[in-house]
Amino acid sequence: MRHAIGIELNERKSGSGMVATDNIIFRETIAAFLTHYCKPAKPIDPENLLAFNGSGSAVEALGEMLAEPGDGFLIPAPFYGGFKSDLQMRFNVIAYPVTLSSEPAPGETVPFELTVERIEKAFNDAKKKGIAIRALLLCNPNNPFGCIYSDKLVKDCLQFAHKHKIHIIVDELYLLSIFHEGSSMNSVLSYTDIPDPERFHFIWGFSKDFAVSGFRCGVLYTQNKDLKAALYNTMYFQTVSTVTQHVLMNLIKDLDWVDRVYVPASHKRLRESNKIVCEFLQKADIPHLECKAGFFLWADFRKFLKSQTFEDEWELFEYFMDNKLYISPSVAFTCNEPGWFRIIFAEDPKILQIAMERLLKVVQKRREELSKHQNETKTQ
């Protein structure tokens, strides 16, 4: 077995039922890794780290522990669709959207801009509906936009949570995937002025930054002793295997290799792939938001809808599928504006080239069909 998986395992530990909270070496390795990349204002205590079988499991566990069924977590929308199932599927915690708009409101400068005013509005709307908001969940860098929140915005969100005595969860799953040259991000862990440490929780995972989604390992950092005690009682069902722990420890313990080899190579490939998609979208006259991090961009296909409805967005999604293209529609991200789609570009350039050439042909065919339909309608 050791030969088959290509690693050396301690015989006693690999055969035991040890969970990730028991393995101090694993947590110390993660603490060193996060210390290196997050530049924390205070030392990261390995005792405050909990590893789950995926970041989604960490979100689900926080939903279970911080809320009652029917309570809500505020999430800027559009948001990663998995958050809804993480919170609602088993514990019926509502993923309550902070609705953003493609048309900037007064005081906003870019499409889908997040502001504390919008968060406050969603909080009050939920309250009117009898939904008790227990937490604000931020994904930074953001999925599906690929944008990076400013320090000011994140700190304003921390103050908002403190003001309303709710928890705040900051998911930095794409921490090492900021590929845009000249762009950077300060991790929330680097802030010296977090107003309510007991209600602040941080999530990071291996799946995106290291392209190992199948290994299932996400990390929660919390200083809340009561929360940790509660989580320890249920983590048996969400543990990370000892083999996975061993493999992932080996992956991140050589920080020099991660710094000098892995991250630069990852950023270079993401830049190249993003460029391919952006150039094709420009050829096809399809607007999109600028992406600085992550593996995807948010593109505007509204002109290709028969009407501005979610039914016709789904029709367009199926049209793409019939033409062997899979891009995710806005409804999957709790967007309130039909016609936006998320395009993943983290793919082999040769495959990406084929996909974009196919997209170019498909949207041209769609244009012709819509034009013909409109002309026929006018003559009736």
- Do 178 and 313 lie in one domain? The reply is no
Range of the domain at 273: 257-374
The answer to whether residue 102 is domain-embedded is yes
Residue 12 has pLDDT above 50, yes or no: no
Instruction: Give whole-number Cα distances, 28 to 69, 193, 231, 247, 261, in Å.
Output: 35, 25, 19, 15, 23
- Do 280 and 200 lie in one domain? The reply is no
- Average the pLDDT over 268-287 and give the result: 97
- Do 28 and 61 lie in one domain? The reply is yes
What does the alpha-carbon distance between residue 366 and residue 352 come to, in Å, rounded to a whole number? Answer: 21
Q: Which residue has the higher pLDDT, 227 or 19?
A: 227
What does the alpha-carbon distance between residue 229 and residue 68 come to, in Å, rounded to a whole number? Answer: 18
- Do 326 and 366 lie in one domain? The reply is yes
- Average the pLDDT over 284-297 and give the result: 97
- Do 183 and 82 lie in one domain? The reply is yes
- Do 214 and 114 lie in one domain? The reply is yes
SS3 44: coil
- Give the model's pLDDT for residue 162: 98
Q: Residue holding tokens 């170019």?
A: 360
The answer to whether residue 11 is domain-embedded is no
Residue 344's CATH number? 3.90.1150.10
The answer to whether residue 203 is domain-embedded is yes
The answer to whether residue 15 is domain-embedded is no
Residue 1 has pLDDT above 60, yes or no: no
What is the number of domains present in the chain?
A: 2
- Please identify, among 218, 253, 288, the residue that sits at the C-terminal boundary of a domain: 253
| C-alpha neighbours within 13 Å on the C-beta side of residue 323 | 19
Terminal CA-CA length for the chain: 72
Give 20's pLDDT tier (boundaries 50, 70, 90): low
Residue 13 has pLDDT above 90, yes or no: no
What does the alpha-carbon distance between residue 380 and residue 377 come to, in Å, rounded to a whole number? Answer: 5
Decide: 252 and 23 in contact? Cβ < 8 Å.
Answer: no
Residue 189's CATH number? 3.40.640.10
- Give the model's pLDDT for residue 23: 83
- Please identify, among 193, 224, 253, the residue that sits at the C-terminal boundary of a domain: 253
Long-range contacts of 20-25 (CB under 8 A, 24+ apart): 20/50, 20/51, 20/52, 20/217, 20/235, 20/239, 20/240, 20/245, 21/50, 21/51, 21/232, 21/235, 23/242, 23/245, 25/249
pLDDT per residue as tens digits for the range 67-117? 999 999 999 999 999 999 999 999 999 999 999 999 999 999 999 999 999
Query: What is the DSSP code string of 325-345?
Result: ---EEGGGGT-SSTTEEEEE-
The answer to whether residue 318 is domain-embedded is yes
